[in-house]
Amino acid sequence: MSQLHVHPDGSEDHGHPEHLGHHWNDSVQQFEAGKLGMWLFLATEVLLFGGLFCAYAVWRANHPEIFKYGSQFLSTTWGAINTGVLLTSSLTMAMAVTYAARGRMTAVVVCLLLTLMGAAGFMAIKYVEYSHKFHEGFYPGMSFYEEPHASELWLPLEETAAVVKAATLAGEEAGSVALAAEMKTRAELPTEPAEAQGWNKPAAGIGPAGLTTDQQNIDMAEMSVFLPPSVLGNLEDLDAELAYAEHHAADEPVVLPHPLQDPDRPVNAQKFFTIYFLMTGLHGIHVIGGAVVITWLLILTLRRRFGAKYYTPIDLGGLYWHIVDVIWIFLFPLFYLI
Amino acid sequence: MTVEGDDSMTTTESRPLDAPALEVDNYLTYTRGIRSWILTLDHKRIGVMYLISVLACFLLGGIFALLVRTQLVVPDGLIMSQDEYNQAFTIHGGVMVFLVIIPGIPAALGNFILPIMLGAKDVAFPRLNLFSYWLWVLGAIFLVSAIFGGLDTGWTFYTPYSIDQNSAMGGVIPAVTGAFLLGFASIFTGMNFIVTIHRLRPDGMTWFRMPLFLWSLYATAVIQVLATPVLGITLALLAVERAFGIGIFNPALGGDPVLYQHFFWFYSHPAVYIMVLPAMGVVSELIAVHSHRHIFGYAYIAWSSVAIAIFSFLVWGHHMFTSGQSPLMSVIFSFITFSVAIPSGIKVFNWLATMYKGAISWNTSMFYGMGFIVLFIIGGLTGLYLGVISVDVHLHDTYFIVAHFHYTMMGSSLIGFIGGLHHWWPKITGKMFNENAGRIAFMLFFVGYNMTFFTQFMLGSHGMPRRYATYPADAGFQTYHIISTIGSYIMAIGFFTMAGYFIASLFVGRKAAANPWGGRSLEWQCTSPPPHDNFSEQPAVGDCYDFSVLRWDDETNGYVWREDVAHPGHESEHTASS
Amino acid sequence: MSIVGLLATAKIGEATSGGTFWMPENASTAAQGVDDVFYFINNINYFFFALLVLILVWFAVRYRSKPSEHTTFTNDAPVHNTPLELTWTIVPLLIVGVLFWIGMDGYLHLVDAPDDSYPVRVTGQKWSWTFEHPEYGVTEAAELTVPLNRPVRLLMTSPDVLHSLFIPAFRVKQDLVPGRYTSLWFEATKPGQYRLYCTEYCGKDHSKMLAVVTVLPEDEFQNRLGKLAREYEDLDDKDLPAYALNRLYNRCASCHSLDGKSGTGPSFKGLWDRTQKGSTVFTNGKTLKGMMGPGGEFEVPENYIRDSILNPQHLIVQNYTGAMPTFKGQLKQRQIDAMVLMLKNLDSLVDENGNPIEAPKVDEVEVSTGADQ
């Protein structure tokens, strides 16, 4: 981006540095204004994500079982690695700002490069996670209920590990019997589409999928007078939902059936993945945006536009990158850890 | 002697430094050529571009308004089918809200006047300002293109209708994309104004020495920055829901349609204060200047703007009393809603007190200022009915609501905009418009306006629902509709008259003095139109409502500084501000 | 009629008889409370509006001056007055406090239905209303019959988009939200007929989503509903077509015309002919003919009609959008039979232009007071 040229307009002096806009009195004023402007922009980013955090909070408060259930399918390992990557890139970004203030521009270039590598690493891991999810058929929305691409028996890595572990513990011979029995049980689980089993996949045009219980003055017993059978059926699910949530609150062995084959999965389980993809997706877009900004800063640094006297864009870019990091710091525990 | 801007978005001048100052160096003539406008960094030119764009959109929205009103003169609908009518009111609402009233005063008048009122050379971020304008244009193109996409959801895009795949609405995604972009244009403008007011105030202008117009723009900017992102995420979610079936608002996919309403109104209620606060700021200027009287209760008016901005974030649920929201929430929102009424009332009382013992000029600008007061009183008082939940249950989604928001959005915000336009027209264009024509247009507007909208209160309380293309013939509604439509035509005549004399003033208007009305804020201390860099020497900062230092000068047809009074900065000043 | 004539003869403000300048007829227990608050606010508003505007005009006239009349301005008028500021802050605060209180009180009364309310299930869908009386097993369309002087509780939902049920004369309103149930209650105090509107924009025929509330004294009410309950059970087959046209077609009318004009859905005129011949083509390219007959999806053409009513998304006729909602759970078997018979015998029930030979149209409101149908 080009610099503003100063207008030597009559009474003004000619000594304005190149980076100083003609409407500013001095560099300090311009720098502080830039900082204030950037903080305002960060406030807008917080509010942008705020709506989604609100939705998460409301849904989780109303249906904690959906979130407990869904988070089991996320890989905590990858999430933690990503957190580390992003934190490190924030560190390198802060280092870039400090070096710029000291005028050590080569170090700035190195640090910006490292930050970019962090961004790339983050997106690469995200790509791995997302493609893994899609392969297993975890899509947002109602696509969640479509058959995953892998039509053969689905046995995720963690599960195989757990089963094998059980087999080892029980002794080899007994273990292989256990393994065989386990696989046989799995083979007998129904694999027809959800619709045939009467689960929550509504045909278009037929009534609402589920029943929300957060109503004013609607007494459940009273309501049954009015309810058509299709909804009455879901009432029973409600008890099952709650029982499931209690049951799974305690530590369970990590043997996860695929949701499509799991009769215990909560009503509207797809909501977890909806909000997961929405929030991490929006965050990923911001990471990419941040990477573009940092690349631009890198180019300008290489063109020797910055120095100890003027490094405001690096400072402001750093602020932006930090908030991208902070948002992830909230996302990680909310989706992966609890 | 001057050259056009080169391709790096700057303007440079190659006039030798020792050449005499140009006789008529103002921002309009400083550089010429289309590129010097398209790529300008001059806040005044950006303001003018916004002004022209906003007025063009007002014409578009107004045409649709006339179509809507014409349809309703007969119960079966006069000129449009159900579908066409639904599209007409959607476009009217969307264009007026997003393209006229929200950007109106801040972008068109604020961009021009704010830096000059501060004695500054430009806003804090001129490039961001330019970017903001072109983002606005892009958003406008998207939004207006939705006209051809058959958009018929209403400007509120309520779900599930707006995600229902079966409705004929190819226009939802372009429209929400447009609104998203417009939202960011609004955010960047807000950011610019906040930083400008914080950092570019001159020495001697403390916060409580700023003109009240700037206080109102500041409060507006805070709302713009904090509320608009929520609209952004809401519309983005709507688009994603529609395109990918993500299941956040669609009940068939496990979503909640009322969640959309919460998200939407969390922005849209503060948005109405984005619309009205700047207009109130304009009115403070109009009343004080044209009464030649120090504003009464300066600090109260200033603080009331801030109070309105804060409270506006807490009341969104009053749009949702009948939506299935819990009674507890409804009661809480009703309680807080009443609190917002008080600061607005304080302003009205202070304006009236300002007129006491004034020397009131019956200018067109003053008429609009007084008109604002009358219409805002009606708008505000009718809000009382709507804050009371039991009455709101009856009145919600009827024409009563339509009347209420038109009194506040059009009768107040738009009047403030028009009044400000008249007030600063000489400053912006350097020409005077014909005052008689102005007063006539005002009367036409005022009479037509009340005919149009006061009848709608009765329509609504009798139960005529909103967004109806047809209505039962024997419900007693038709007479009101006829009066309302006739009123709208009278208003239209008023607006066309206004356009006529404004355009005429550009060609044959009398040359304007630097200070034709007797204002004391800094914009009246530069020439009309202002020079390229606003001030050739740092202007004097004093009490911007102390008019005793001015006197009328017949020669220049304007007000000048009295010879027997020293300029501030040359002696210690006693200010009369509270 | 000319506009002048219209203005001369139209009655301003009359929704039904008995309205005032501001409000329609007051016909429920809640209405009085709402009206009282409304008029109270009215009086406050008249007073303050008059006061403030008079002050404004008085000042504008009294202190008018032209620039040439004086050349300087003085500073002798006050610019602040704290007692005044406090007064006009606190007094309005007290007034709105009172308003809030009475409003909250009135609202809480509106929220909780009495325990012994008469239940009605309401389904609002694009673009018609259906009212079910579970105590009688009766379903009404476009008309809601309720007893006088007894609390009635409506439990409402929508299968498609937001709607809102509004009865101005009762001063009640509540949105219908798909995916959940909402409720409202009222107690009617005057027999008669009152308008019911949809008042949340729901698409093309939002303006036409109208209904009528008929309030009958208790004995007449029970009488009428009893008759409605037995209505199609007692009927002979030969009377079913007329019954369907009179009582069921209401729900179809907004999309399916009787005169051949294509609307949101195909016209019913000639439908049975087309069905029998199998000439209907669907969006998936199949024709009906290929799906009928022994071993086909529809053994007999009547089954296709059934399927369209219960499972409308299954096969969508070419050039239509598939906007039809299902009526599963809303129609009993015999009522579906009645619809089929109506379609079969449509030519003897309606004339060329689709006008029923006997029954009234959907839009007409009979302003009678509670006579049996």
> Before C127, cis peptide (omega within 30)?
yes
Cβ-based neighbours of B92, under 8 Å, separated by 6 or more: B61, B64, B65, B67, B68
Structure tokens at A211: 């029943």
Chain C closest CA to A272's CA: distance in Å? 18
Whether C13 and chain B come into contact, CB under 8 Å, resolves to yes
Give the per-residue pLDDT at C18: 66
Question: Which position has the token pair 């571009």?
Answer: B49
Using a CB-CB cut-off of 8 Å, the residues of chain C touching A204 are 313
Cβ-based neighbours of B15, under 8 Å, separated by 6 or more: B1, B2
B515 touches B290 (CB < 8 A)? no
Interface of C with B in 47-66 (CB under 8 A): 48-49, 52-53, 55-56, 59-60, 63-66
Q: How far apart are CA C372 and CA C244, in angstroms?
A: 18
Cβ-based neighbours of B144, under 8 Å, separated by 6 or more: B60, B95, B99, B178
User: How high is the ipTM of this complex?
Assistant: 0.89
A223/C181 touch (CB, cutoff 8 Å), yes or no: yes
Give the per-residue pLDDT at B570: 57
Is B368 part of a structural domain of the chain? yes
Using a CB-CB cut-off of 8 Å, the residues of chain B touching A58 are 259
Give the per-residue pLDDT at C356: 67
Give residue-wise pLDDT tens across range A301-320: 999 989 888 999 999 999 99
What is the DSSP code string of A39-86?
HHHHHHHHHHHHHHHHHHHHHHHH-HHHHHHHHTTS-HHHHHHHHHHH
B8/A2 touch (CB, cutoff 8 Å), yes or no: yes
Q: Are strands C143-147 and C192-198 parallel, antiparallel or unpaired?
A: unpaired
Question: Which position has the token pair 């045009």?
Answer: A205
Using a CB-CB cut-off of 8 Å, the residues of chain A touching B228 are 44
**Block mean pLDDT (10 aa), chain B, length 578:** 37 40 70 90 95 97 96 93 92 96 96 94 94 97 87 91 66 91 96 95 90 96 95 92 83 85 95 96 96 93 95 94 90 91 94 92 96 96 93 95 96 96 96 95 97 96 95 91 96 97 94 92 90 80 88 86 77 42
Cβ-based neighbours of B307, under 8 Å, separated by 6 or more: B343
Chain C closest CA to B101's CA: distance in Å? 23
Q: What is the CA radius of gyration of chain A?
A: 27
B554 touches B542 (CB < 8 A)? no
Residue C14: which region, alpha, beta or left (left: phi > 0; alpha: psi -120 to 50)?
Answer: beta
Is A277 part of a structural domain of the chain? yes
A245 touches A266 (CB < 8 A)? yes
Q: How far apart are CA A104 and CA B16, in angstroms?
A: 40
Range of the domain at A122: 27-142+271-337
A230/C329 touch (CB, cutoff 8 Å), yes or no: yes
A47/B227 touch (CB, cutoff 8 Å), yes or no: yes
* Residue B570: φ, ψ to 5°: -105, -5
Using a CB-CB cut-off of 8 Å, the residues of chain A touching B245 are 141-143
Structure tokens at A137: 């058929």
Using a CB-CB cut-off of 8 Å, the residues of chain B touching C38 are 385, 391, 394, 461
Closest to B49 measured CA to CA, from B113, B128, B130, B127: B130
Is B308 part of a structural domain of the chain? yes
Range of the domain at B468: 40-561
Homologous superfamily, domain C236-349 = Cytochrome c-like domain (1.10.760.10)
Is A199 part of a structural domain of the chain? no
Chain C closest CA to A73's CA: distance in Å? 28
Cβ-based neighbours of B89, under 8 Å, separated by 6 or more: B64, B68, B154, B467
Tell me which residue in C22, C180, C201 faces B458 most closely, judged by beta carbons.
Answer: C22
Instruction: Determine the residue among C6, C25, C46, C88 to mutate to test chain B binding: the one whose Cβ has the most chain B Cβ atoms within 10 Å.
Output: C88
Tell me which residue in B161, B348, B482 faces C203 most closely, judged by beta carbons.
Answer: B161
**What torsion, rounded to 10 degrees, do the Cα atoms B67, B72, B74, B76 define?**
100
Of the listed ranges A133-142, C30-39, C277-286, the least confidently predicted one is A133-142
Task: Provide the strand spans (E) within chain C.
Answer: 118-125, 128-133, 138-141, 143-147, 151-157, 163-167, 172-176, 182-187, 192-198, 210-216
What is the DSSP code string of B307-372?
HHHHHGGG-GGGG-TTTT--HHHHHHHHHHHHHHHHHHHHHHHHHHHHHTT--B---HHHHHHHHH
Is B481 part of a structural domain of the chain? yes
Of the listed ranges B257-266, B477-486, C183-192, C334-343, the least confidently predicted one is C334-343
C325/A217 touch (CB, cutoff 8 Å), yes or no: no
Closest to B365 measured CA to CA, from B289, B427, B430: B289
Structure tokens at C141: 């369309």
Using a CB-CB cut-off of 8 Å, the residues of chain A touching B193 are none
C180/A204 touch (CB, cutoff 8 Å), yes or no: no
Give the per-residue pLDDT at A338: 85
Is B136 part of a structural domain of the chain? yes
C180/A216 touch (CB, cutoff 8 Å), yes or no: no
The count of C-alpha atoms lying within 13 angstroms of the C-alpha of A324, restricted to the half-sphere facing its C-beta, is 32
CATH number of the domain residue A317 falls in:
1.20.120.80
C314 touches C307 (CB < 8 A)? yes
Give the per-residue pLDDT at C1: 38
Tell me which residue in B161, B562, B576 faces C162 most closely, judged by beta carbons.
Answer: B161
Max Cα separation, chain A? 97
Sign of CA dihedral B188, B193, B198, B201: positive
Chain B closest CA to C335's CA: distance in Å? 28
Using a CB-CB cut-off of 8 Å, the residues of chain B touching C63 are 291, 355-360
Burial of B270 from C-beta contacts in 10 A (0-12 / 13-18 / 19+) = buried
CA C296 centroid distance within chain: 41
Confidence of residue C39 (pLDDT cuts 50, 70, 90): very high
pLDDT of residue C139 exceeding 80, the answer is yes
C127 touches C254 (CB < 8 A)? yes
Q: How far apart are CA B145 and CA B133, in angstroms?
A: 18
> Taking the CB of residue B15, how many other CB atoms lie within 10 A of it?
16
Chain C closest CA to A138's CA: distance in Å? 24
C301 touches C291 (CB < 8 A)? no
Tell me which residue in B160, B391, B397 faces C38 most closely, judged by beta carbons.
Answer: B391
Is B15 part of a structural domain of the chain? no
Give the per-residue pLDDT at A238: 52
C119/A225 touch (CB, cutoff 8 Å), yes or no: yes
Tell me which residue in A211, A217, A228 faces C183 most closely, judged by beta carbons.
Answer: A217
Give residue-wise pLDDT tens across range A117-141: 999 999 999 999 998 888 877 877 7
* Number of domains chain B contains: 1
Q: How far apart are CA C308 and CA C327, in angstroms?
A: 9
* Residue B552: φ, ψ to 5°: -75, 140
Domain ranges across chain C: 118-233, 236-349
Closest to B549 measured CA to CA, from B568, B530, B577: B568
Cβ-based neighbours of C62, under 8 Å, separated by 6 or more: none
Is B384 part of a structural domain of the chain? yes
* Number of domains chain A contains: 1
Give the per-residue pLDDT at A199: 32
Q: How far apart are CA A148 and CA A154, in angstroms?
A: 9
Chain B closest CA to C230's CA: distance in Å? 32
How does the average pLDDT of chain A come out, rounded?
A: 72
With a cut of 70, list the residues of chain A below it in pLDDT: 1-15, 142-143, 145-257, 260-261, 263-264
C207 touches C163 (CB < 8 A)? no
Give the per-residue pLDDT at A147: 55
* Residue C145: φ, ψ to 5°: -95, 130
Q: What is the pTM of this model?
A: 0.81
A225/C183 touch (CB, cutoff 8 Å), yes or no: no
Give the per-residue pLDDT at A318: 96
C→A contacts (Cβ < 8 Å), by residue, are 111-113, 119, 121, 134, 155, 157, 159, 178-183, 311-313, 322, 324-326, 328-329
Structure tokens at A326: 């902070």
CATH of C118-233, one of 3.40.50.150, 3.60.15.10, 2.60.40.420, 2.40.50.100: 2.60.40.420
CATH number of the domain residue B400 falls in:
1.20.210.10
Using a CB-CB cut-off of 8 Å, the residues of chain C touching A216 are 111
Give the per-residue pLDDT at A139: 78
Give the per-residue pLDDT at C261: 84
C328/A206 touch (CB, cutoff 8 Å), yes or no: yes
Is A119 part of a structural domain of the chain? yes
**What torsion, rounded to 10 degrees, do the Cα atoms B68, B70, B73, B77 define?**
-70
Instruction: Determine the residue among C129, C154, C201 to mutate to test chain B binding: the one whose Cβ has the most chain B Cβ atoms within 10 Å.
Output: C201
The count of C-alpha atoms lying within 13 angstroms of the C-alpha of C240, restricted to the half-sphere facing its C-beta, is 19
CA dist C248 to A202, A228, C330, C338, C340, Å? 26, 20, 11, 9, 11
- What subunits make at least 3 CB pairs under 8 angstroms with A? B, C
C76 touches B574 (CB < 8 A)? no
